[in-house]
Amino acid sequence: AQSVTQPDIHITVSEGASLELRCNYSYGATPYLFWYVQSPGQGLQLLLKYFSGDTLVQGIKGFEAEFKRSQSSFNLRKPSVHWSDAAEYFCAVGATGANNLFFGTGTRLTVIP
Amino acid sequence: EAEVAQSPRYKITEKSQAVAFWCDPISGHATLYWYRQILGQGPELLVQFQDESVVDDSQLPKDRFSAERLKGVDSTLKIQPAELGDSAMYLCASSLDRYEQYFGPGTRLTVT
């Protein structure tokens, strides 16, 4: 069965600093991987996705993520965080033939001036 | 840009009452999903429709929850009777293909 682990519940970074949010997944085959962002009281917005090919994927808002099969990871990165990036970030995995996505428990990002 | 619409945005109801949520997916999206997101957790799928047919409702508590998508467009999720543990955000999503899902703003339900 698929599962997603986001080990960091809450991360605080200074504006302008770099960011890395961790995501580990469990799945027997090649997964489809996603990062979503959720602002308070809002729905989820897709930041980026990985299906196949280049393991470094670029997304919106300056985010990127790298798929590492050997580590079962799909970490999200941003070189310079902006105050508007403060939100909840969810990693999700989908599997070939599966109907739905499995989400991690999320990482809340706080950005301090 | 097309969006998934949901209403109401907020709903407060008393325990044992009935409550309903509505979702209008992005035009042309055949697949529609209802998720429940408990505070501090990620969304969990309740039901998935392909056009008007249910393709996965394995996690839907069918004794109190029901969902329909009669014409294969908009959808309604109903809870009757509501329980305190149903307090959560209910998210609707739609997709053109199986994997890239677009989410609505959600309905925040509080059961008192």
**What digits encode the pLDDT tens for the residues B66-103?**
999 988 899 999 999 999 999 999 999 999 876 688 99
Four-residue CA torsion sign, B86, B91, B95, B98: negative
For residue A35, what is the nearest residue in chain B, using CA coordinates? B100
Note whether A106 contacts B41, CB cutoff 8 Å.
yes
Minimal-distance CA residue of chain B relative to A95: B99
CA distance A90 to chain B (A): 7
**Residue of B103, B107, B110 to mutate when probing chain A, most A C-beta within 10 A:** B103
Residue A97 — pLDDT band, cuts 50, 70, 90? low
pLDDT tier at A1 (50, 70, 90 boundaries)?
Answer: confident
**A39 interfacial to chain B (CB closer than 8 Å):** no
Report the SS3 class of residue B85: helix
pLDDT value of position A3: 87
Task: For residues A15-31, give the mean pLDDT.
Answer: 90
- Span B101-108, average pLDDT: 94
B42/A49 touch (CB, cutoff 8 Å), yes or no: no
Residue A94: CB partners within 8 Å, gap ≥ 6?
A2, A31, A32, A33, A34, A100, A101, A102, B98, B99
Tens digits of per-residue pLDDT, A29-48? 778 899 999 998 788 999 99
Q: Which of A30, A91, A100, A102 to mutate to test the interface with B (most CBs of B within 10 A)?
A: A100
Do A41 and B91 make contact, defined as CB atoms within 8 angstroms? no
Angle, CA of B86, A46 and A10, to the nearest 5° = 65
**For residue B19, pLDDT beyond 70:** yes
Mutation to test the A interface, candidates B1, B26, B98, most A Cβ within 10 Å: B98
